[in-house]
A and B are shown apart, each in its own frame.
Chain A
């Protein structure tokens, strides 16, 4: 049976994994290559590396990090953050990534989705959507790391991203991100039910039960685990066993 995926997410700044402590300070949490390998060994189904600084001068560092991380990683590996053009994507693929995640660049020029998909295949293109609930009850897509409202309806945007060649949607609830209160199942379901491509839910995971909810009620195909894993990689095993006990198909043991 096709399993629900748990994707370990590493935020990288200047070649190191960083994590927020109480959402304030960024603290060094280790070497990306070592952590990716540890997560993979512990049962992560995929690894996502997000370049949170993504400044021009750090691109070289990032590519070097991607290369080192990819070397011993034999599960799918996605890189996001600052990927704006086909050339950016090519460089990241050359360094060993299997997929790129694009967000702001796709919003300002949706043609870039098609451009990368035609060259590397749709399976290699994840469109990341940061969505926030508006007063009207709809979800709006935000650009630039959640800083810039776009006026675009997130559900409409997900359909357009699909039609332009996206292979997956990485959907982050800005309302839930960092709260630990659980995924936004309503948002996830609203998008998962209207697209034919897999939806990866992100934002709000605090306990294992939240993953059960987003798979059962949110109809997610995969879920991103970030801060929940930073307390110890062995917890991935606990998470997967809890999912299995709830009747969710997972890759376990792996």
Chain B
């Protein structure tokens, strides 16, 4: 029983693995579709260009993730991984996302510096299994140039050049725009909450 951290060549996945190791949680970094489809939980991390998610399609990982999700296992997308859970992004209009949340990822407006780098606050909108009892206005670490506007499943927002989705959640599907593995004790707690979710 293990958590699959999906490796699709988008950035450095070691830090997510390291955080799970520290929590004593069994996990593997894998690009093997079979392992992903069978996993107890799946995390899609990643930073960089939306086009990098095309690799998920090409390696059969998208199908494997859909298979896993259909088995009702908990799924977490981090940063680019969260953006990929939406239908599309203007960063790579010809690349389709997973589409489990409706909406499109767009660039920050020209009125603010981009990327949005640093510690910003989560504004909680309602109850969240992922956030548990973490207080509203908690600080977490972001680094991204594209963002998703608030949608019906948004449970926490963040403000930078306007309000955007920081955490989305529906049933066993979770997405976070920030990096929990880089967000100190708050982020570690969030990952711990995810690890503790029952299938």
Q: Which residues of A contact B (CB under 8 A)?
A: 1-5, 40, 45, 70-72, 74-76, 93-94, 96, 98, 120-124, 167-168, 196-198, 221-222, 251, 254
List B contacts of A123 (CB < 8 A): 47, 115, 117, 143-144
Report how many residues on chain B are interfacial, defined by Cβ distance under 8 Å.
33
Which of A40, A93, A120, A198 is close to B117, meaning CB atoms less than 8 Å apart? A198
CB distance from B108 to the nearest CB of A (A): 10
Q: Is the CB of A2 within 8 A of B15?
A: no
Q: Is the CB of A3 within 8 A of B117?
A: no
Inter-chain CA distance A168–B117, complex, in Å, is 9
CB distance from A161 to the nearest CB of B (A): 15
List B contacts of A98 (CB < 8 A): 12, 15, 182
**Dominant SS among interface residues on chain A:** loop
List B contacts of A221 (CB < 8 A): 113, 117-118
Q: Can you list 27 A-B pairs, Cβ within 8 angstroms, ordered by A? A: A3-B119, A3-B120, A3-B139, A4-B118, A5-B119, A40-B184, A45-B119, A70-B15, A71-B22, A74-B183, A74-B184, A74-B188, A75-B183, A76-B182, A93-B12, A94-B14, A96-B15, A96-B18, A98-B15, A120-B11, A120-B48, A167-B117, A168-B117, A196-B113, A197-B113, A198-B113, A221-B117
List B contacts of A197 (CB < 8 A): 113, 115, 117
Q: Which residues of B contact A (CB under 8 A)?
A: 10-12, 14-15, 18-19, 22, 47-49, 113-121, 139, 141, 143-144, 159-160, 181-185, 187-188
- Using CB atoms, name the residue of chain A closest to B12: A93
Q: Is the CB of A70 within 8 A of B18?
A: yes
List B contacts of A168 (CB < 8 A): 117
List B contacts of A124 (CB < 8 A): 11-12, 47
- Using CB atoms, name the residue of chain B closest to A92: B12
Inter-chain CA distance A74–B185, complex, in Å, is 8
CB distance from A225 to the nearest CB of B (A): 15
Which of A72, A75, A121, A222 is close to B141, meaning CB atoms less than 8 Å apart? A75
Inter-chain CA distance A53–B3, complex, in Å, is 40
List B contacts of A93 (CB < 8 A): 12, 14
Which of B48, B119, B185 is close to A121, meaning CB atoms less than 8 Å apart? B48
Inter-chain CA distance A117–B15, complex, in Å, is 18
CB distance from A98 to the nearest CB of B (A): 6
Q: Is the CB of B12 within 8 A of A72?
A: no
- Using CB atoms, name the residue of chain B closest to A40: B184
Given contacts A74-B182, A254-B139, contact A45 B118 (CB under 8 A): yes
- Using CB atoms, name the residue of chain B closest to A76: B182
CB distance from B42 to the nearest CB of A (A): 21
Q: Is the CB of B117 within 8 A of A121?
A: no
List B contacts of A76 (CB < 8 A): 141, 182
Inter-chain CA distance A167–B118, complex, in Å, is 12
Given contacts A72-B22, A96-B18, A120-B12, contact A2 B118 (CB under 8 A): yes
List B contacts of A96 (CB < 8 A): 14-15, 18
Name 13 extra pairs, CB < 8 A, besides A3-B120, A76-B182, A222-B118.
A1-B159, A3-B119, A40-B184, A72-B22, A74-B22, A93-B12, A120-B11, A121-B11, A122-B115, A123-B115, A167-B115, A196-B113, A196-B114
Q: Is the CB of B182 within 8 A of A121?
A: no
CB distance from B196 to the nearest CB of A (A): 18
Q: Is the CB of A75 within 8 A of B184?
A: yes
CB distance from B115 to the nearest CB of A (A): 6
List B contacts of A120 (CB < 8 A): 11-12, 48
- Using CB atoms, name the residue of chain A closest to B158: A2
List B contacts of A74 (CB < 8 A): 19, 22, 181-185, 187-188
Inter-chain CA distance A124–B114, complex, in Å, is 14
List A contacts of B121 (CB < 8 A): 1
- Using CB atoms, name the residue of chain A closest to B48: A121
- Using CB atoms, name the residue of chain A closest to B185: A74
List B contacts of A167 (CB < 8 A): 115, 117, 143
CB distance from A163 to the nearest CB of B (A): 14
